[in-house]
Amino acid sequence: MGIGDLADGLTRGVESLGASVTGVFEPTVRLGVTGLSRAGKTVFITSLIANLLDQGRMPQLLPAATGAIRAAYLQPQPDDTIPRFDYETHLAALTSPEPHWPESTRAVSELRLSLRVQPPGFLAGLSGPKTVHLDIVDYPGEWLLDLALLDKSFAEWSTATLDRIEKREDAQGYLAAVSAADPTAPFDESAAQALAQSYTNYLIRARAAGYSDCTPGRFLLPGDLAGAPVLTFAPLPQPDRPTRKSLWREMERRYEAYKSQVVKPFFRDHFARIDRQVVLVDALGAIHSGPDAVEDMRRAMTEILSSFRPGRNGFLTQLLLGRRVEKILFAATKADHLHHSQHPRLTAIMDAMLRDARDRADFAGAGTAAMSIAAIRATVEETITHEGAPLDCVRGTLLKTGKQAALYPGELPEDPNALLSSARAGADRWLDQDYDIMSFAPAPLKLKPGDGPPHIRLDKAAQFLIGDKL
């Protein structure tokens, strides 16, 4: 065990002591919200908070339905060094007369919502109301995927990455740059920067094409580290005998610095303290992109799940000291792109992927669930007649043109395996049909007092994640 590891363990120990001391008086639940870029984290948190402050649309959250939640209010968060989740600005974007989507997650942020609860009933009434703090921590899923790097040397990561991207069209520019570079040549900063930039360009295109396997995560969302040497490396083929000052050696050094100075602190300061976790997945977006993106999403879900499995990673095991996240929800977001008649099918796809991820990650421990939700409902349902037959659509305002449009995204299969097995088999495209997607603008809201913004199953998600704590 190195000194760094020891220090990591110590900080964690002191912290859990702090948590248990405050926990005696006022229980705190730390809810992690993650997912890859554009999965819907910002919209989810904004709508969750608005719907916890005004619970009129949360009938499936039991403590809201029974009236146990007496009051809900925002408070200053307990962590002074983490930016506050900008709830007010995000809500204002969604509720303005010309509603627009808020700015997406770029880094970690946090918000504390406190709930005053008094369960109904005579006995519960005797103990008086209690306050439960809900600390919501928003962090990019890209950073979570970096956990896998901790187990891998630079050589292993490079080989695995270069193998995986070999056939991808978007990677050909980077692969050409790599074959032109000489890893044994003396290190040169501008050559390193050009390679790192070319690799980052590939990652950006891969993300846009729907791939999830985009490490290092900070290359996509650098936060305040843009341009720093820890972000200036890229996968290289391993030379037989790299010399001490070669391009290979310096990139290897930077890769290790990235692990110890970027990845580990993130897990120590944020991840290790989470009690409940929701992982948001843009499943419809991946289905639209094709079998490859769905297979990639399945792989990412396995990888994410295995980060929650204590024991898999020596560093994490030590950091968590036996503590673990208690519940994990995988939620397919933006379900308002589908007519409700197809929601069970989307949920079945998420369920099948979760089961598969659990098997592969050899995951046991936390309670898990899969759902399909929409944090904000931007559409209305409509059945139109198409070629003489009824077609279940959704209608909304197109983001690009501001015009109304009806969307029929395609029929998801009844058996999720029809989709997942062709993804696993590496099919180029879906056999039966294509899946369409449209970007809708949020609909103008007229909220009754006591009601939060309209959503789909956000209350069910909240019940799974925090219902038992209230």
Distance CA 414, CA 417 (A): 9
Q: Nearer to ligand GDP by C-beta: 48 or 251? A: 48
Distance CA 24, CA 15 (A): 15
Stretch that binds ligand GDP, among 30-38, 187-195, 384-392, 413-421 (CB under 6 A): 30-38
Is 35 a residue that touches ligand GDP (CB under 6 A)? yes
Contacts 24+ apart (CB under 8 A), 87-93: 87/45, 87/46, 87/49, 87/111, 90/42, 90/43, 90/45, 90/46, 91/46, 91/49, 91/50
Q: Nearer to ligand GDP by C-beta: 285 or 290? A: 285
Distance CA 147, CA 218 (A): 12
Q: Nearer to ligand GDP by C-beta: 87 or 440? A: 440
Is 251 a residue that touches ligand GDP (CB under 6 A)? no
Q: Which residue do the tokens 């692969």 mark? A: 175
> Which one of 29, 43, 283, 394 is in contact with ligand GDP (CB under 6 A)?
43
Stretch that binds ligand GDP, among 229-237, 242-250, 372-380, 412-420 (CB under 6 A): 372-380
Is 143 a residue that touches ligand GDP (CB under 6 A)? no
In the complex, least distance from residue 318 CB atom to ligand GDP, rounded to whole angstroms: 30
Is 38 a residue that touches ligand GDP (CB under 6 A)? yes
Residue type, 166: E
In the complex, least distance from residue 207 CB atom to ligand GDP, rounded to whole angstroms: 11
> Which one of 101, 202, 258, 430 is in contact with ligand GDP (CB under 6 A)?
101
In the complex, least distance from residue 87 CB atom to ligand GDP, rounded to whole angstroms: 13
Instruction: Spell out the alpha helix ranges (H) of 71-135.
Output: 87-95, 122-126
Give the CA distances from residue 120 to residues 27, 48, 67, 69, in Å, rounded to whole numbers and listed in that order: 19, 23, 7, 10
Stretch that binds ligand GDP, among 75-83, 99-107, 187-195, 203-211 (CB under 6 A): 99-107
Is 242 a residue that touches ligand GDP (CB under 6 A)? no
In the complex, least distance from residue 399 CB atom to ligand GDP, rounded to whole angstroms: 7
> Which one of 41, 207, 270, 276 is in contact with ligand GDP (CB under 6 A)?
41
Is 40 a residue that touches ligand GDP (CB under 6 A)? yes
Is 104 a residue that touches ligand GDP (CB under 6 A)? yes
Give the CA distances from residue 309 to residues 10, 69, 302, 305, 327, in Å, rounded to whole numbers and listed in that order: 21, 33, 11, 7, 12
Q: Nearer to ligand GDP by C-beta: 35 or 242? A: 35
Is 409 a residue that touches ligand GDP (CB under 6 A)? no
Instruction: Say if CB 443 and CB 397 are below 8 A apart.
Output: yes
Q: Nearer to ligand GDP by C-beta: 250 or 336? A: 336
Q: Nearer to ligand GDP by C-beta: 37 or 55? A: 37
Distance CA 67, CA 363 (A): 36
Distance CA 371, CA 460 (A): 9
Question: Given the DSSP bridges, would you call strands 28-35 and 276-281 parallel, antiparallel or unpaired?
Answer: parallel
What tokens appear for 198 in the block? 């070319």
Is 236 a residue that touches ligand GDP (CB under 6 A)? no
Is 72 a residue that touches ligand GDP (CB under 6 A)? no
Q: What's the angle, vertex CA 399, arms to CA 374 and CA 107, rounded to 5? A: 60
SS3 category, 392: strand
Element (H, E) at 300: helix 291-307
Stretch that binds ligand GDP, among 40-48, 62-70, 266-274, 290-298 (CB under 6 A): 40-48
Q: How far apart are the first and last CA of the chain?
A: 40
In the complex, least distance from residue 373 CB atom to ligand GDP, rounded to whole angstroms: 7
Distance CA 116, CA 470 (A): 9
> What's the order of all strands across the beta sheet hosting 404-407?
380-386, 389-397, 404-407
Is 334 a residue that touches ligand GDP (CB under 6 A)? yes
In the complex, least distance from residue 101 CB atom to ligand GDP, rounded to whole angstroms: 3
Distance CA 137, CA 35 (A): 12
Is 96 a residue that touches ligand GDP (CB under 6 A)? no
What tokens appear for 103 in the block? 């700015």
Q: Nearer to ligand GDP by C-beta: 43 or 369? A: 43
Is 233 a residue that touches ligand GDP (CB under 6 A)? no
Instruction: Say if CB 218 and CB 262 are below 8 A apart.
Output: yes
Is 291 a residue that touches ligand GDP (CB under 6 A)? no
> Which one of 151, 439, 444, 450 is in contact with ligand GDP (CB under 6 A)?
439
SS3 category, 251: helix
Distance CA 70, CA 76 (A): 20
Stretch that binds ligand GDP, among 33-41, 178-186, 305-313, 347-355 (CB under 6 A): 33-41
Q: Nearer to ligand GDP by C-beta: 105 or 368? A: 105
> Which one of 8, 135, 146, 336 is in contact with ligand GDP (CB under 6 A)?
336
Instruction: Spell out the alpha helix ranges (H) of 213-263.
Output: 217-220, 247-258
Is 105 a residue that touches ligand GDP (CB under 6 A)? yes
Binding site for ligand GDP (CB under 6 A): 35, 37-43, 101, 104-105, 333-334, 336, 374-376, 378, 439-440
